[in-house]
Amino acid sequence: MCGIVGYIGTKRAYPILIKGLKRLEYRGYDSAGVAMIGDNGNLNVYKTKGKVDNLTEYCSDKDVTGCVGIAHTRWATHGEPSARNAHPHYSTSRNLAIIHNGIIENYAGIKAKLQANGVTFKSDTDTEVLVQLVEYIMDKKNLSLLEAVQVALHQVIGAYAIAIVDKRDPYQIIAARKQSPLVVGIGDSEFFLGSDASPIIDYTDKVVYLEDGNIAVIRVKSPNGENEDEGLKILSILGEEQELKVKKVDIDLGQIEKGGYSHFMLKEIFEQPECLQNCMRGRINVEGDNVTLSAMIDYRQQLLGAKRIIIVACGTSWHAGLIGKQLFEQLCRIPCEVEYASEFRYRNPVVNKDDVVIAISQSGETADTLAAIQLAKEQGAFIYGICNAIGSSIPRATDTGTYIHVGPEIGVASTKAFTGQVTVLSMLALCLAKERQTISDELYHSMVKELTLIPEKMEQTLKTNEQIERLAPIFTYAKNCLYLGRGYNYPLALEGALKLKEISYIHAEGYPAAEMKHGPIALIDSEMPVFVIATRDRLYEKVISNIQEVRARGGRVTALVTEGDQQIQKFADHVITLPDTLECFQPLIASIPLQLLAYHIAVCKGKDVDRPRNLAKSVTVE
Ligand code: F6R
C-alpha cells in the first residue's frame, strides 16, 4: 500500500529513487512521483498518473540533479488516482515536500482549521494536509523542521510512514513511522529509505527498522563539511533519543529479479518446490521423519496448553488458515476458528487467556491482521505469527512464530506464500499432534515423510503447465466461473476462484461442492466453466455425484484428478492429472494447476498479471 523510497548522500539521487520505486511498485502503482533538491537549490517535484515508467518518461527532459530526494508509488485512498493527488506533495511555500504511506484519519478537521487560517490546498489527499500542517507550525511557532514534525505528529490520528525534505536544509531527511513500515539503510556517508528493504539491498545490508512512534533524523555532511551532526538519529515522538538497532538484511538480489520468466507470478509458481524445501530445511530432520519448530521448544507450555486456536488473516492467507483449521482439528483435536482479521477486530470477539491466536500474513504488514493481533493481545491470548517478510511488523508484534522462508513474493497474486503457509501450518499441526499424542507415532512419521515428498510431487505437477496453457484460451470468453471442492479441497476452491478474479477480472466463486444444490446450481449452463478438485480421498465418490449434477445441467467440467483415475475421464470435458498424496497435503499440489490456470487465462486476456488493477501487494490501510 504505497511505496516509499529516499536517498541522501554523495551520489545522484534520481536513478536510485527510480530503481527503488520499481522494486516497490507491487505496493501500489496508480501514480508515482519524485522530489529532489537540485544542484541549483530548487526543490523539484515531478509526478504522473500510472506506473513508474510514465514518470521516467515525463522526467526525461527535466532537471533531475541533486543528491537528496524522496519518491513514492501510490495506491489511492483519499483522492482519485491522478498526477495532482500523486506524492510528493509540496507545502504552500514549496520549501517542503512530503511522501506518505498510510491514512491520516482526522485530516478533514485539520484541513478545515488550516483553510480557516488561509492555507490553500492543491490536492484531495490527507497527505497534503500533513505537509501544510508542518509548514504552518514551523512558521507560526518559529520551529525547526524536526520540532514542527514532532508537534504535527501529536495532532494527527491514523497510520503513517512519512519522509520530508526542506530545500533550505538539503543535507537532511526527516522520516517517521506509525503502523506503516519504514526501513532506513545505512551506507558509507549515505542513507536510504524504503517501505521494505528491497530498494536498499543493492547498496547496503545494514538497516534499521523503525518502530512505531519513531522519528528518524538523517543528516549528511555538506560539501564544506559544516554539518557536525552527520548520521542517523532515532527519536521518540517526544524527542527522546532511542537506541540504534542495526540489523543485517539477508535478501538475495536474484530472488527479486524475474529470472527469465515473463512474469514474477509465473516465476513464483515455478519456484514452489524449492521454496517448500527452504521452508522445511532445518525443521524436518535429514531422515525426513521428525519436525522441530523452535517456537515449540521455546513456548511449549503456551502452545500445548491451547484450549482453542483462533486463526486471523485476510485473503489468500485466510484460505491457508481454513486448511490449518482442518489440520488442527483432525490431527491435534484442538478446536479452531478462522476469522477474517477485518471482522474480528471490530466485533468484540470472545478471546481467552488459554487461546492461541495464529496470525497468518505474507507481507507481515496487513493493517487488519495487525489490529486483530493487538486486540487478542489485550485480552491475554498467546500470539503466534506465520509470515514471510522478515522483520516486518507482524513478526515483531507476536509472541513467537515461524517464518515461511519462501523468499520475496513480488507478483501481487499470492502463490508461493500460500503453499509456504500451508506447509508451516502442517508442520505446526504435526508437532502439536505428536506432543499431545493425538496421532500415533507411526502415522506421525509417515506424514512427515510424505510432507518431505511434496516438493518432488510439485515438480511433477508443474509439468501440467503446457496442457493448461493450451486449455486457457477456451475460458477467456467466460463471464463467471465456479470452483468446487470438499474437505481440504474446499479452501482450495476459494483460493482458485480468488486467483482467477484478481488477475483475469473474470467473476469466480468457490463453493463446497455439495452446497451447490442449495443455490448456485441455478447458475449452471453451458456458458459456465466449472473447475472441480476431485482428487482421490474420503469424499471422492461424493464429489463424483456433484460432478454429475453439474453435467446434468449442461455445465462444462474441468476436473483435477489423481493419477490413474479412470472414472472422471468419462464425464469431464477436461482432466488435469496430479500425483497422489495424503488428503491433507493435496492442496499443496492442487494449488499449482489452479494458479497456472488463472495465470494463463489472464495472459490470454492481455491483463497485467503482476500488477492487476486496483490491487496492492501489501495492504497497510484498513
Ligand atoms: C491474493 C492476495 C491477498 C493477500 C491479502 C493478505 O492473491 O495476495 O488476498 O493474501 O491481502 O495479505 P498478507 O498475507 O500479506 O497479510
What is the per-residue pLDDT across 187-217, written as a single tens digit (0 to 9) for each?
999 999 999 888 999 999 999 999 999 999 9
> Could you give the residue range(s) of every CATH 3.60.20.10 domain in the chain?
3-102+160-248
- The confidence band for 228, taking pLDDT boundaries of 50, 70 and 90, is low
Q: How confident is the model at residue 25 (pLDDT cuts 50, 70, 90)?
A: confident
- Is pLDDT larger for residue 401 or for residue 2? 401
pLDDT of residue 181 exceeding 80: yes
Q: In this predicted structure, what is the pLDDT of residue 227?
A: 60
- At residue 366 the predicted structure's pLDDT band, cuts being 50, 70 and 90, is very high
Indicate if the pLDDT at residue 26 is higher than 80. no
Query: In whole angstroms, how far apart are CA 187 and each of 10, 202, 203?
Result: 11, 11, 7
CB 110 within 8 Å of CB 40: no
pLDDT bracket for residue 506 (50, 70, 90): very high
pLDDT at 254: 64
Could you tell me the distance, in angstroms and rounded to a whole number, from the CA of residue 316 to the centre of ligand 1? 5
Distance separating alpha carbons of residues 222 and 143, to the nearest angstrom: 22
Alpha-carbon distance 595 to 237, whole Å? Answer: 45
pLDDT of 362 reads 95
pTM: 0.78
pLDDT in tens, 272-302: 999 999 899 889 998 889 999 999 999 999 9
CA 283 to chain centre: 24
Which residues' Cβ are closer than 6 Å to ligand 1? 314-317, 361-363, 366, 369, 413-414, 498, 502, 619
pLDDT at 1: 66
pLDDT in tens, 127-179: 999 999 999 999 999 999 999 999 999 999 988 999 999 999 999 999 999 98
Instruction: Quote the CA–CA distance of 549 and 195 in Å, as a whole number.
Output: 50
CA distance 399 to 17: 35
552 HSE (CA, 13 A, CB side): 9
C-alpha pair distances (Å), 215 with each of 35, 236, 396: 20, 6, 18
**Average pLDDT for 571-581:** 95
**Which residue carries 492487476 as its cell?**
612
Strands (E), 341-379: 355-361
User: Cα of 315 to ligand 1 centre, how many Å?
Assistant: 5
Q: Confidence band (pLDDT; 50, 70, 90) for 585?
A: very high
Atom 5 of ligand 1: nearest residue by CA position = 315
What does the alpha-carbon distance between residue 560 and residue 580 come to, in Å, rounded to a whole number?
A: 11
The predicted pLDDT at position 556 comes to 92
Q: Mean pLDDT, to the nearest integer, of 17-38? A: 90
The whole-angstrom separation of Cα 597 and Cα 385 is: 30
Task: Please identify, by atom number, the ligand 1 atom nearest to the C-alpha of residue 618.
Answer: 15
Q: Is the pLDDT of residue 69 over 80?
A: yes
Report pLDDT digits (tens) over 589-620.
999 999 999 999 999 999 999 888 877 777 77
Q: Which residues, at least 6 apart from 194, have a Cβ–Cβ distance to it below 8 Å?
A: 3, 4, 5, 6, 20, 23, 24, 182, 183, 185, 200
Q: Please, are residues 292 and 431 in contact by the beta-carbon 8 Å criterion?
A: yes
Residue 304 confidence class, pLDDT cut points 50, 70, 90: very high
**Spatial contact of 391 and 194, defined as CB atoms under 8 Å apart:** no
Average pLDDT for the chain = 93
**How far apart (Å, rounded) are the C-alpha atoms in residues 596 and 153?**
46
**Residue given cell 502452545 in the structure block:** 303
pLDDT score recorded for residue 123: 94
Pick the CATH number of 462-612 from 3.30.930.10, 3.40.50.300, 3.40.50.10490, 3.40.50.150: 3.40.50.10490
CA angle 271, 276, 279 (to 5 degrees): 125
The secondary structure of 155-193 as a DSSP string is H--EEEEEEEEETT-TTEEEEEEEBS--EEEE-SS-EEE
Is pLDDT at 42 greater than 90 in this prediction?
yes
Domain with CATH 3.40.50.10490 in the chain: 255-439, 462-612
What per-residue confidence (pLDDT) applies to 559? 97
Length of the chain: 622
What is the pLDDT averaged over residues 549-575? 92
Task: Please state, for a pLDDT cut of 90, what percent of the chain lies above it.
Answer: 79
User: Which of the four pLDDT bands, split at 50, 70 and 90, describes residue 225?
Assistant: low
**For residue 269, what is its C-alpha cell?**
509458481
Give the separation between CA 386 and CA 421, rounded to whole angstroms.
7
Read off φ and ψ for residue 199, nearest 5 degrees. -80, -5
DSSP track, 374-441: HHHHHTT-EEEEEESSTT-HHHHHSSEEEE-------SSS-SHHHHHHHHHHHHHHHHHHHHHT-S-H
Ligand 1 atom showing the smallest separation from residue 319 Cα: 10
The pLDDT assigned to 102 comes to 86
Instruction: Tell me which of 265, 362, 387 to substitute to probe ligand 1's pocket, judged by most ligand atoms within 8 Å of the beta carbon.
Output: 362
Which residue has a Cα nearest atom 8 of ligand 1? 414
Q: How far is CA 34 from the centre of its chain?
A: 24
Model confidence band, residue 250 (pLDDT cutoffs 50, 70, 90) = confident
Among 341, 359, 376, 393, which residue's Cα sits nearest to residue 161? 393
- At 587 the pLDDT is 97
Report the first-to-last Cα separation within the chain, whole angstroms.
10
Tell me the CA–centroid distance for residue 418 and ligand 1, in Å. 9
Residue 427 CA to ligand 1 centre (angstroms): 21
| Catalytic residue set | 2, 617
Q: Are 3 and 24 in contact (CB under 8 A)?
A: yes
The per-residue pLDDT for range 322-334, each reduced to its tens digit, is 999 999 999 999 9
Other C-beta atoms closer than 10 Å to the C-beta of 426 total: 27
Give residue 229's pLDDT: 75
Residue 582, pLDDT above cutoff 80? yes
The reported pLDDT for the residue numbered 202 is 92
Mean pLDDT of all residues in 62-78: 91
Pocket test for ligand 1, best of 363, 410, 595 (most atoms within 8 A of CB): 363
Cβ–Cβ < 8 Å for 345, 371: yes
Summarize pLDDT for 520-548 with one digit per residue, the tens: 888 888 889 999 999 999 988 888 988 98
The CATH class, in words, for 255-439 is: alpha beta
Decide if 152 contacts 134 (C-beta within 8 A).
Answer: yes
Report the CATH superfamily, name and number, of domain 3-102+160-248: Aminohydrolase, N-terminal nucleophile (Ntn) domain (3.60.20.10)
pLDDT band at 350 (very low <50, low <70, confident <90, very high): very high
Residue with cell 547496503: 204
Name the residue with the closest Cα to ligand 1, atom 3.
315
Whether residue 252 is predicted with pLDDT greater than 80 in this model: the reply is no
Instruction: Report which of residues 336 and 102 the model is more confident about.
Output: 336
For residue 72, the surrounding DSSP H or E stretch is strand 68-74
Positions of E strands within 413-528: 480-485, 507-512
Other Cβ atoms within 10 Å of 236 Cβ, number: 13
pLDDT value at residue 94: 97
